[in-house]
Structure 1
Amino acid sequence: MPKFPDFHFRPGNHLRLRLSSNYFTANPDYLVLLALSALVGAITGLVVSMFEMAIHFMADYRIHYFDDWGLPLWLSALLVIMAGAVVAALGFWLTARIAPETSGSGIPHVEGALDGLHDIRWWRVLPVKFVAGVCAISSGMVLGREGPSVQIGGAVGRMCAEGAKRFQFAPHVLTAAGAAAGLAAAFNAPLAGILFIVEEMRPQFRYNFTSFKCITLATLMATIVMRYFQGQEAVMDIPTFQVPPLASLWLFVVLGIVFGIVGIYFNRWILKATAMFKGYHQNRLLRVTCTGALFGGVFALLQLYVPNIAGSGIALITDFVREPMAWAVMVLLFALRMLTTLGCFASGAPGGIFAPMLALGTLLGLAYGSIAAGLFPDLVAEPGVYAVAGMGALFAATVRAPVTGIVLVVEMTDNYQLILPLLATCLGATFIAQALGGRPLYSALLQQSLESKKSAEAAETGVKPGA
């Protein structure tokens, strides 16, 4: 058993340490870091708010730009589809040409920076992730803005750290603070932003009281700024559900087991699909751009005629929780959105997977709740409760951050009274995923990216990896 000498205190020493002015920090100038963290949070909240507004503006502008032209419906639809292909292609081109590290959600890139594996070129990441993310997400692809918001926040933190080079850990602390602020601003979920860094990025995050206060202050400022522009309402406008009876908790445990198994295969399929796309385009600019044009055109078409299969899925969550369909229809839609989510995210588009993943959890959880309501009517009064539990369960099983998943869902839905069933579902999903050998999604993506980079460097030098 390893020993932890820092945990041993002589009688009375711990109290004296707590009363010391240096208890919360080992750096006497830590107030500078706190001030910079507040600045990082405010800037991140502003940029993430602008990011969301730009996505909505671009999507609406592209879809309705041709309405007043007096064109036939088929020609107007064709132009909308072509516009989707063009903007998506632009997003893919900017990513591949200027800042390849902005592909995907960007969270593995932030984790690698916190671990010292690479640096964040914020002067490239910030503009490219913003513009390319707006282009790709607004095209109708099944992507979320939350992962990009985390990378944008991390880049803001690294930018502000340039002015604090004399502080040894400023780049690390401010990058983590910016990442937490980005998630908090994207979801209007400050507690989830803090927990995401502490729980999901625990292998990379250097925890102490100073760094914890920095990320807390950054999320506070980011949330204040975001709410100033976007309002204080929860991200999802869904009903407030009653607390389910204690006798029904075993149904939530079973749901967690289901999502634990689904989460394992979801992660494996993501990794395989990502490797397949990288093997296809091999970072060749023309192939990457053509891939973006193809995906943009296809999903612009789906957005017009089958909107439930396109887009991030936030609107789908609200609609289905309020007016559920037959469970068979929701299972079919879950399967279709699973395929579209895998394809869009693995393509390397500069977009995230948080919102699409929450939509998948909603569909499968709601279908499960509808079946359970038919089998156990005395235990299930509102199937929508299982949709809320499903959101957190899939997040917990894939990201392997159950507490973050619980807090994230209750903050997004304003259903704080469902913490107990969420605990049963999310912990069950996490235990099953871990017991069956599943790997956390973002850590696995980071490892895959590093291995791919080593293989590419070895191919250029003619030396076999590991030689």
Structure 2
Amino acid sequence: MTYGGNILTARTFHHLLHWRDFKLKVFSEGIIIGLFSGFIIVAFRYCLERAELLRESIYHSVNMYTFEIIILIIGLGLIAFILNLIVKNEPLVSGSGIPQVKGVLTGHLKMKWAKILVFKFIGGILAIGAGLSLGREGPSVQIGATVGQGISQLLGRLKIEEKFLITSGASAGLAAAFNAPLAGVIFAMEELNKNFSPAILMSTVAASLSADFITKLFYGSTSAFNFPELPILPVNCYIYLIGLGLIIGILGGFFNLSLIKTLELKDSIPLPNTLIIAIPLLLAGLLGHFLPQVLGGGNHLIDSLNQNYFPISLLILLVLVKFFFTLLSYGAGVPGGIFLPILVIGALTGNIYNDLIVKIFHVSPYYSNNFIIFAMAAYFTAVVKAPITGSILITEMTGSFSHLWGLITVSTVAYLASDLLKTKPIYEALYDRILRKNIKPINEKETMILIETVVCLGSEISDKSVKQVVWPRHCLLVNIKRGDLDIIPQGDTVIYAGDHIFALVNEKRVVGIERSLCSLAEELNYMPE
């Protein structure tokens, strides 16, 4: 059978006709991917911890006024040289890795999974271990995605299936990086796919839980941050949450604008890339002597905030240095994410905000840690614009679901406030930059892949028959999922809100067609005539 000049294989139709079995299959494969990803991310975390201990020992012991500083400069220069070789040899390992995974899922980029896995692992350890203000979560997501892609290719799976397995690996990577399996699932659906699909849900749940199981075997069941049991914030204090959300939202939008401008500035500087990488590394060596709290991801700094008192002058210094050092570190283009640094910036800002409302409005200091975690969720939401993921992530990382209502409230306000600056979500902006650069779209033999979207109440196609809808060109509607019922669409088949519609499209056209399908299925923002 042909469609649009492309031959659809019997294996493709076998998957479509046995969709229920397919979901069970990707669930089982998700477990395998989660186990492998879990072991690799545990090794990644362990190596990072060893590297950070070595860094602290070296930076603390070096005498800045003797020949030892020359040895340190040479060592940091060597790291810059190695990182440049890694990025030059495989450009897709630079930066977070999350935009690159999105590019693979949309069909614009192709990952050489084994090469990227090895280079991201080594590059992340060198960059973060040396003290750059970068996090482990982005590399963990990309490493997990490469595991999913690798298993898919080793098992000879179709492109239809590979998208699910890459997503599973990405969710497993985040779950293992932060001991947060639920956040891994939500992130995969809200940020990577922007689609709450049952098949994606099953595969990501399996991968995240199995990866989290492996992580707990080595790191125990403790949450990522050592917050004591927090009191419930009284409802009469929620007015301060709104103020916090507004401030954080604007600051988060400013971070997005600043990061993109930093990357554009880096592209325009006529300096060798090794030297550009060496600049933040040398600064890390200097900060390691005078202000070591801002080095690396910063999870230890967050733990210190809830256990020790910091004067407001020191908090302001820390947040300013962390902000600009994160821009400089990520702008160098080396492997490393911004997930953890933006949480640290949020936590510091929340601590400053708490100190101010305690002094000005006489709010009880008993709730200081509450404002720290609320600010973390708000800043994450303002930067990434994924409020559900932000709320769930902080909930899991602090080990308590008692504050979910407050987290959702402040995240929603921050989301709306960040929109005032009309900034794109940071990973979407970074993804657009990658596509605009010299990485060309994949040019291989034509491959059909399956895409899915959910029909919203009040959408253009809701309550219409298939033949009444003007479907995008080069798109073959193959299945409608309604509850537990799989429907082979006919011309007279009526589409209802809540239906999951599946279409076969050419991989090279997937982005435009998926956008068109989503616009047909999403809620109308105007009243139909």
Instruction: Provide the aligned C-alpha RMSD in A.
Output: 2.6
Partner letter of residue 156 of structure 2? K
Aligned counterpart for 1:45 among listed residues 21, 38, 47? 38
1:139 aligns with 2:139: no
Q: Which residue of 1 aligns with 2:218?
A: 229
Task: Count residues with an aligned counterpart.
Answer: 427
Q: Deviation of residue 146 (structure 1)?
A: 0.6
Report the CA distance shift for 1:79/1:321 in structure 2 as closer, same or farther (over 3 A).
Answer: farther
Contact 2:180-2:393 within 8 A present in 1 as well: yes
Distance change (3 Å), C-alpha of 1:357 and 1:65: closer
Bigger Cα displacement from structure 2, 78-87 vs 359-368: 78-87
Counterpart code for 2:35: A
- The aligned counterpart of 2:142 is 151
Indicate how the Cα distance of structure 1 residues 311 and 72 shifts in structure 2: closer, same or farther if over 3 A, else same.
Answer: closer
Q: Is residue 101 from structure 1 mapped to residue 86 from structure 2 by the alignment?
A: no
Q: Distance in 2 between matches of 1:376 and 1:62?
A: 42
Contact 2:189 2:200 in 1 (8 A): no
- Aligned mates of 2:421, 2:101 — CA distance in 1: 27
Of all paired residues, the percent bearing the same amino acid is: 29
Amino acid corresponding to residue 384 of structure 1 in structure 2: N
Aligned partners of 2:250 and 2:420 also within 8 Å? no
Mark the CA change 1:247 to 1:271 in structure 2 (over 3 Å): closer, same or farther: same
- For residues 395 and 236 of structure 1, the distance between their equivalents in structure 2, rounded to whole angstroms, comes to 16
- 2:177 is aligned to 186
DSSP 3-state at the match of 2:306: helix
Larger Rg: 2
Measure the CA separation in 2 of the matches of 1:81 and 1:355.
Answer: 27
SS at match of 1:352: coil
Query: Is the 1:164–1:170 Cα contact (8 Å) retained in structure 2?
Result: no
Instruction: Name the structure where strand makes up a greater proportion of residues.
Output: 2
The residue identity in structure 2 corresponding to 1:270 is L
1:339 aligns with 324
User: Pick from 29, 43, 61: which aligns with 1:36?
Assistant: 29
Q: Which piece of structure 1 moves more, 343-352 or 229-238? A: 229-238
One-letter amino acid matched to 1:124: K
Q: Which residue of 2 aligns with 1:87?
A: 79
1:260 maps to which residue?
249
C-alpha distance in 1 between matches for 2:91 and 2:103: 14
Cα distance in 2 for partners of 1:214, 1:287 equals 43
Q: 2:164 aligns with which of 165, 170, 173?
A: 173
- Do 2:60 and 2:289's aligned partners in 1 also have CA atoms closer than 8 Å? no
Q: In the superposition, relative to structure 1, how do residues 23 and 366 fare at CA in structure 2: closer, same or farther (>3 Å)?
A: farther
Distance 1:25 1:288 in 2: 51
Aligned to 2:384: 399
Supply the AA of the counterpart residue of 2:396: E
Q: Is the 8 A contact 2:33 2:147 kept in 1?
A: yes
Is the 1:25–1:209 Cα contact (8 Å) retained in structure 2? no
Report how far residue 370 of structure 1 moved.
Answer: 0.8
Question: Superposition pairs for residues 51-450 of structure 1, below 5 Å?
Answer: 51-64=44-57, 74-76=66-68, 78-96=70-88, 98-203=89-194, 207-280=196-269, 287-378=272-363, 381-450=366-435
1:92, 1:136 within 8 Å by CA — same for their partners in 2? no
C-alpha separation in 1, matches of 2:239 and 2:78: 49
Deviations 1:58-116 (A, max 9, x none): 23335547999x999844455345433422432232122x2111100010000111111
TM-score (norm 1): 0.85
| CA deviation after TM superposition for structure 1 residue 249, in Å | 0.3
Residues in 2 aligned to 1:392 and 1:140: alpha-carbon distance in whole angstroms: 24
Q: CA offsets, 1:155-211, max 9 Å, x none?
A: 1111011034344422100000000000000010001001101111234x5x53222
Distance 1:66 1:367, change over 3 A: closer
CA distance in 2, matches of 1:150, 1:455: 23
Distance 1:37 1:142 in 2: 32
Q: State the Cα distance separating 1:217 from its structure 2 match.
A: 0.2
Distance 1:29 1:163, change over 3 A: farther
- 3-state SS of paired residue (2:21): coil
Which amino acid counterpart does residue 339 of structure 2 have in structure 1? F
Matched to 1:247, the amino acid is N
Write the distance in 1 (CA, Å) between the matches of 2:285 and 2:102.
32
In 2, Cα distance between equivalents of 1:80 and 1:24 = 62
1:15-34 equivalent positions in 2, closer than 5 A: 26=19, 28-34=21-27
Distance in 1 (CA, whole Å) between partners of 2:284 and 2:225 is 23
Residue matched to 2:456: none
Bigger mean CA offset, 31-40 vs 182-191:
31-40
* Pairwise CA distance, 1:375: 2.3
> Given that residues 92 and 132 in structure 1 are in contact (C-alpha distance below 8 angstroms), is that contact kept between their aligned partners in structure 2?
no
Q: Secondary structure of 1:383's partner? A: helix
Q: After the TM superposition, which of the residue ranges 133-142 and 53-62 deviates more from structure 2?
A: 53-62
- 1:222 shift after superposition: 0.4
Output the CA distance in 1 between the equivalents of 2:408 and 2:16.
33
Separation in 2, partners of 1:422, 1:172: 31
Q: Which consecutive aligned stretches of 4+ in structure 1 deviate over 6 angstroms post-superposition?
A: 22-25, 65-68, 70-73
Distance change (3 Å), C-alpha of 1:336 and 1:64: closer
Change in CA separation of 1:112 and 1:67 when aligned onto 2, cut-off 3 Å = closer
| Counterpart-to-counterpart distance in 2, 1:110 and 1:439 | 18
Work out whether residues 107 and 150 of structure 1, in 8 Å CA contact, stay in contact via their aligned partners in 2: yes
Relative contact order, higher structure (CA 8 A, sep 6+): 1
